Amino acid sequence: MGATDDEFPRGAPVSGGVDPLGDPYLRTRFALPSRPGTFLRRDRLVEHLGQALLTPLTLVNGSAGAGKTLLVADWAANLGRPVAWLTLDAAVEGPGMFWAHLLQSLNAGGVPVPTAVGFPADATRVHHTLLSRLAWELAGRDRPVTVVIDEFDRMTDPEVGRQLEFVLRHASPGLRLVLVSRTEPLLPLHRYRLAGEMTEIRGAELAFTTEEAVDLLELHGLPLAVPVVRALVERTRGWAAGLRLSALAARSAPDPELYLKEFEAGRGTIADFLLAEVLERQTPETKDLLLRISVLDRFCPDLADELTRRRDAATILAALHGANAFVEDFGQGWYRLHPLFREILRAHLRRRAPNLEPELHRRAAHWLRRSGTLPEMLAHGAAARDWTYLARALVEDLAIGQLFTGLGSREPAEWFAGMEGETPDPAVNLVRAACELSRPDLDGGLTHLRHVAERLAADDRGSPATRLSRALLEALAGRLSGSARLTEQAARSARRLMPLMPSRLLEEHPEFDALLLSHVGSSRLWAGHFDEARAALTAVVRGPRTAVTVLPRMEALEHLALVDHLDGSPSAAERKVFAMTAEAERYGLAQPSGSGLGQLVLAAVALDRDEVDRAEALLAQTSGRQPTTPVTAAARRAVTAGVLLARGRAREALDVASRPVPAAEASPWAQGRAALVVSDAHLAEGRPDAAVEALRQVAGDQPLCTVGAARAHLAAGDPGTAVHLLDGLAARGRSGPGVAVPAALVRARAAALEGDPATARRLLAKALVEGRREGLRSTFRSAGPWIGPFLAEPPLRALAAGWLLPGPEPSDGPARGGPGPGTPVEELSEREREVLERLARVMSTEDIAADLCVSVNTVKTHLKSVYRKLSVHRRNDAVRRARELRLL
């Protein structure tokens, strides 16, 4: 679909004054940073950087304070040609904002961009046409355009990296891109290295040599002996900021050489002197502000004012930043202290006012609750040990769900590890319950939930937010305990309470409803109510797609996959798991989170297809994860027993299938799948009567168990009962191929036993056609010797060839002018096969790259080639197509 006018306005003025968010462009983002009077130009680095004019890409990479920015700024200022400069910060987030600022940097740098190129109207995305026009425009210039992007490590969106690489590649030879970054940029650097099209300056090269340090110290008015400087370089390892800090402190010392010897000997003296020579020079108001903001990772004037209880932070911070006094501009009115300076200030604060730091953290937490982000508020509240305030903030702001979805890599229990002592406060007990349930410690969580219930019953003053948060946790407890009754009861309470909450809170926290629905869907699945479970889980998947709902969406997809498999639709189940993996990659998760239910579903599908090795490998991927819910535990039990049975280890399969899954309420499908394994194990060991008995109580409730019971009765010499059971199954409606195919085989065998080979052939043909679509080899290969003579007949053998029996697969004719189903467009290379095999194991792109010891971009290149050769566009289609071609 093409871009609409709103998505991609032609001729929008790049320099019209505002970015896609409607904010004015900040000129500081496009201005070359000024060099201090003590800046030292180092010829070896300038000469190396001069190669940037000869290569499309240049990377200047090093730690904070390594001197990257000043080096490139000085080089650019003396280049004698226009340079477009862009300094990224936290506000330039998303493809639309990035490209709007890049276009503005070209205009500001004297490289006007024609209005026909366009302008991103959406901060979160940019149309591909704009990138193509920009690349075309740059490629047609007489002289290459030099673009410098400083602090590129702030841009973490991989889509921006892909877009930038596209423009760089297609703008050649009209673009020279210089990236200044603390981290590796999201670009295929290996490709440029191999082609000799990249200039690199790394941290080791940025480090000062002894000779350069001598010159630097002389610029600071410190003509020191070489041995003294050499010792300083060794102590600082040539770190530019460390040398400058030392020079600033030593410059005012009575004996600089003696001072630097003390610096070499003891760190405490250095810290004390820096405080005296840097901090003590400031006014009392400035010193007080610096000490107080040392507890913050980042700060703005309003937050600093909250800590000082004054209103002068804006003026002081602007002056400190202008004087290069270790206050760095963080963008959008935010600042941060130089890390070393901040560390020294915090140590000094603790010595001067040991009781002040907790109060400062408490003030920061209160301010951040109103204006900041949840993780920052929690961090400062935890540092202040103000547990009651934190708990009430989480509950009253309806943010308790983010303990499960929105705090990055830290678990809830880590945030509240220091919370000790018992308290009747409902909010505190709710947070403690959330921490316990996240482990998961069901008993501990239920204990705290009982405390909440008792308090609310005695006091009857619980706010709607308190009761709603309690309902969410009780729904989770019901899911973890296997009690659909408890979950449904909690969900009904939540629905009654939601209208009492401000709509703003519900809109700000979409994770709350997503979590509630995922708990309800999982519990309904456990109870065997598949249609109701599908409705709840589908609502999660179709709900808001944000970072705080990605984990519930992934859980919903893997549970929907299990529903599909239990309904007898293995391919549909496989597609759900692939969608879950794609969701994980979209949000930068290295691998699917959770207990591995998705991998277990894929293992079950592999067993259906007689891919026992693959099933075992997928099962092994979940071995390190403890099942958190009865649903996952039952799925793992069924897959483990199925693998053992497929390996011919019937006794071990019986033992595994007989192990109970702890749950408050029984699950029909869990009991049915266990009974089915027991029945099949008895059949494998020649005990048909025991096989019949194993399914007697469950056959009527589960379609696949009904087929298993019919198979057992047939083996016991009772074809009439077998057919009668299958007739009842057919009367209940159409079943998925995972049920229909084995049912057709049982009927075919019954017809053969009753002397009706024509009916047996017709049923076998039907089963082969449907089984081929899904690759259901296991059912045929475990059918027994009776099927062999039928498959030897040419018509049936033709239907089985290429997927069940050796031989070429019959052609269904080319699809849309493409190749037939039996032949790829082009033979896959060995590396492409390796990537495809890992794709089938539901490994993410990052995991495949790590496993094959190649870059992520290399994997993506192979995937594109695989898709082209298999005539598909998505990973799940590639896997399914590869199975049809027997490439897997």
Alpha carbon distance 112, 106 (integer Å): 6
Tell me which residue has tokens 């730091």. 357
The rounded distance, in Å, linking the Cα atoms of 496 and 883 is: 49
How far apart are the C-alpha atoms of 883 and 870, rounded to whole Å? 11
What strands lie across the sheet with 83-87, from one edge to the other?
83-87, 145-150, 175-181, 57-61, 198-201
Other Cβ atoms within 10 Å of 538 Cβ, number = 16
Quote the CA–CA distance of 97 and 124 in Å, as a whole number: 7
Locate 772 and state its tokens: 């081929």
Residue 453 tokens, joined? 């219930």
Buried b (16+ CB within 10 A) or exposed e, 683-700: bbeebbebbbbbbeebbe
Q: Tell me which residue has tokens 């009927």.
A: 747
Instruction: Report how far apart, in Å, the C-alpha atoms of 781 and of each of 500, 619, 742, 787 are.
Output: 59, 22, 11, 9
Q: Given this model, what pLDDT does residue 12 score?
A: 39
Contacts of 540 (CB under 8 A, 6+ apart): 514, 517, 518, 521, 549, 552, 553, 555, 556
| Nearby residues of 834 by Cβ (< 8 Å), 6 or more positions away | 852
Instruction: Give the type of residue at 208.
Output: F
Q: Which of 213, 328, 401, 875 is nearest to 602 (CA)?
A: 875
What is the distance between the alpha carbons of residues 252 and 260, in angstroms, rounded to a whole number?
Answer: 12
Secondary structure of residue 541 in the 3-state scheme: helix
Phi (first) and psi of residue 149, to 5 degrees: -115, 110
Please, is 531 exposed, middle or buried when counting C-beta atoms within 10 Å of its C-beta (0-12, 13-18, 19+)? exposed
DSSP 767-781: HHHHHHHHT-HHHHH
- Within 13 A of 705's CA, how many CA atoms are on the CB side? 23
Its pTM surpasses 0.85:
no
**pLDDT value, residue 8:** 38
Alpha-carbon span 600 to 616, nearest angstrom: 10
* Confidence at residue 63, expressed as pLDDT on a 0 to 100 scale: 66
Question: CB-side exposure of 642: number of CA atoms within 13 Å?
Answer: 31
Please check whether residue 307 is in contact with residue 364, taking contact to mean a CB–CB distance below 8 angstroms: yes
Q: 109 is written with which tokens?
A: 């740098």
Backbone angles phi, psi at 685, to 5 degrees: -100, 10
Phi-psi region at 372: left, alpha or beta (left = phi > 0; alpha = psi -120 to 50) = beta
Q: What is the DSSP letter of 27?
A: G
- Within 55-157, residue ranges assigned H as helices are 68-77, 95-108, 128-139
Task: Give average pLDDT by consecutive 10-residue segment, the chain, 888 residues.
Answer: 38 60 89 90 93 92 81 93 92 92 93 88 91 94 93 89 94 93 84 90 89 92 88 77 79 78 47 60 91 94 96 92 69 80 83 92 95 83 91 92 71 71 86 90 93 84 90 97 97 96 92 96 96 96 90 95 95 91 77 76 96 94 82 96 95 95 95 95 94 82 90 94 89 84 96 94 94 92 92 92 75 39 64 84 77 80 85 80 77
User: Of all helices (H) and strands (E), which one includes residue 184?
Assistant: none
